[in-house]
Amino acid sequence: MNLSSLKGSRLANHLLLTGISLLMLYPVIWWLGASLKKTEEMSLPSIWPQSPMWENYTKGWHFSADFSFTHFFANTLTMEFWNVLGAVITSSLVAYGFARLQFKLRAFWFSILLLTMMLPGQVTVIPQYIMYNHFGLVDSYIPLILPHFFGGGAFFVFLLVQFIRGIPRELDEAAKIDGASVYGIYARIIFPLLKPSLVTVAIFTFIWSWDDFFGQVLYLSSVEKYTVGLALRMFIDQFEIQWGQLLAMSLLSIVPSVIVFFLAQKHFVEGITTTGLKG
């Protein structure tokens, strides 16, 4: 193959990928254009309005007389901080126990853990709600945060177990010779080496918790405790829905997830790749 044909092939590939990228970005472009339209312009076929209403963002941000989206974003980010912290710490601890420690019925309990991945989440909704309601924890963030401090989820534990099994045991033996305890080995050897996989756990936890509208609407009823997702629903409850403001705020609601993903993209891909190779 000569140089000209090779350049032509590369150009064709780039044009094809560019076209596919634009096709995939079309909903986002339409979303942005619709967030700048008036309500009566929503049915028009044009993507971009002739007179963009950037005030949809300012009015939408302060749509409520009592609360702004600053309050709702603060609520959500605070909850996300504890969710990510709990998932990262407890899932790595549980995975370390299954991967390195010897105890009775270890294989049996690990099998039970994997079986919970096949259990639909809807099965446990009612028992969990009854339990939290019995302890007076409904209308608080505890039902949304507490599960992340008990292993973070079977998927995360399984992911980290696969990664830990790829770490040479010689490192553990060397640490024991230096006098490190079981927890010292975890804190000084295993946990630092888990960084790529822990970033993966953090990203998934952040995105899944951010998008957990069902759990938020189930346990939160006070407006001052609303998250971003519940605040967006308040637009629907209005007598006259301001679609431009709603779309503007919904577009801003995905910004934190996008920022987190792109900032940690390198570690995320590394974690997925190395975990798959070290099974």
Q: In this model, does residue 279 exceed pLDDT 50?
A: no
Between helices 255-263 and 243-253, what is the axis angle to 10°? Answer: 20
Q: Which of 68, 70, 63 is nearest to 240 (CA)?
A: 63
Mean pLDDT of 139-157: 91
pLDDT recorded at residue 239? 64
**Residue 276 pLDDT level (bands cut at 50, 70, 90):** very low
Distance (Å, whole) CA 200 – CA 159: 9
- What is residue 5's predicted lDDT score, i.e. its pLDDT? 65
CATH number for the domain whose boundaries are 60-277: 1.10.3720.10
**pLDDT score, position 127:** 92
SS (H, E, C) 121-164: HHHHHHHHHHHHHHCCCCCCCHHHHHHHHCCCCHHHHHHHHHHH
Measuring CA to CA, which residue among 148, 169, 166 is closest to residue 94? 148
Which tokens belong to 162? 């696969």
Q: What would the pLDDT profile of 64-89 be if each residue is shown by its tens digit?
A: 878 899 999 999 999 999 999 999 99
Condensed to tens digits (0 to 9), the pLDDT of residues 163-182 reads 898 888 888 888 888 888 88
The answer to whether residues 77 and 210 touch, using CB atoms and an 8 Å cutoff, is no
37-56 confidence digits (pLDDT tens): 888 888 777 888 888 889 99
The domain ranges of the chain are 60-277
